[in-house]
Amino acid sequence: MNRRHRLAYIAISEVSQGRHGATATLLRLIGVSRQAYYKGLKCVETAWKQHDAKLKERTQYWYDFHHQGIGAGNLLVALQHDPEVTFSVTFKMIKRVQRELGIHCKIRVKKRNHRKEREQHILDNVLNQNFEVDGPNQVWLSDSTELKYGLNGEHSVRLSGVLDLFGRRLLAFKLSDTETAVAEIQVFQRAFAVAGDVHPMAHTDRGSAYTAGSFNHFLELHNVKRSMSRPGTPYDNAPMERWWNEFKLRWMGRHPMAKTYQELVKLVEKGVEYFNRHNRSAQRNGLTPDEYWDKAV
């Protein structure tokens, strides 16, 4: 007897109670004889109903045993190891029983403070130093570095960037007073404005800006897969670190220090343009990052 007939027999039994002729009418509608109905109903009462009653009993037992602190997944594990449950139990069955019993996992709601936000968004090193990709917008790296300006270098700002691992093209950058989640969201917004509707993996370190809830929620809206460097392992983000080092050594270090913020902005803009449009490399078959990237697109 299939599940459809089983449920139909149960429904007929419940609906027809106290109603003369209801059983015969309902049986005619579904095309089942009275003999088949009573035989099936007896089978339901002796098998399915017994299993259902036992399942509810043991579900409630394990739920209370664990102080009402486990959900469907752990309830399923408990029931699968319960010697009193001698029939097969599925996750779907557990969810149904939970609804019918009106039980759910009672958990403590975490306080949303800065420290907890960081704990909730510490993620694995999914990239795992696999720096070889075969096309644009598969992996984006991001980080920030400090730049100084002023008569004696007394002022400092953070330069944040998003680097496409394919061809090492800097998609976007932003200067800000400090490394904040707001600044990192803005630089990624600029990157998406350049690249369009793409869904890369985004790899960063574990700085507070990158572990902030607002930053990670923003990336979730763009269906971005997250990856984070391991603590104290800068090589996990080596291409980004190398880009910063070359930018400082080959560009910032070879130009007079900017005296004003406006001078610094222009210097950085020209530097990014140089590395994207003019910096050729044998690793890119003699192409610049822009040429290499555009050729693939």
Other C-beta atoms closer than 10 Å to the C-beta of 148 total 14
**pLDDT score for 218:** 94
- With beta carbons less than 8 A apart as the criterion, state whether 147 and 252 touch: yes
Question: What are the residues facing 202 on neighbouring strands?
Answer: 140, 226
**pLDDT score for 99:** 87
Sign of CA dihedral 203, 207, 211, 215: negative
Give me 89's structure tokens: 């139990």
Q: Is 19 helix (H, G, I), strand (E, B) or coil?
A: coil
Domain chopping of the chain, boundaries: 3-101, 116-296
Q: Is 210 helix (H, G, I), strand (E, B) or coil?
A: helix
- pTM of this prediction? 0.59
- With beta carbons less than 8 A apart as the criterion, state whether 43 and 36 touch: no
Across the beta sheet with 169-176, the strand order is: 169-176, 155-164, 139-149, 201-204, 225-228
**CATH topology classification for 116-296:** Nucleotidyltransferase; domain 5 (3.30.420)
What's the pLDDT tens digit per position in 15-68?
Answer: 666 677 777 776 777 777 777 766 766 665 556 777 888 889 999 998 887 767
Torsions phi, psi of 244, nearest 5?
-60, -45
* Nearest CA among 77, 104, 81, 108 for reference residue 91: 77
**pLDDT score for 176:** 94
> Which residues have CB under 8 Å from 268's CB, separation 6+?
147, 159, 173, 175
Query: What are the residue ranges in the chain where pLDDT is below 50?
Result: 108-120
Angstrom distance (rounded) from CA 289 to CA 239: 13
Give me 139's structure tokens: 């992996």
**pLDDT score for 109:** 45
**pLDDT score for 186:** 96
- With beta carbons less than 8 A apart as the criterion, state whether 143 and 161 touch: yes
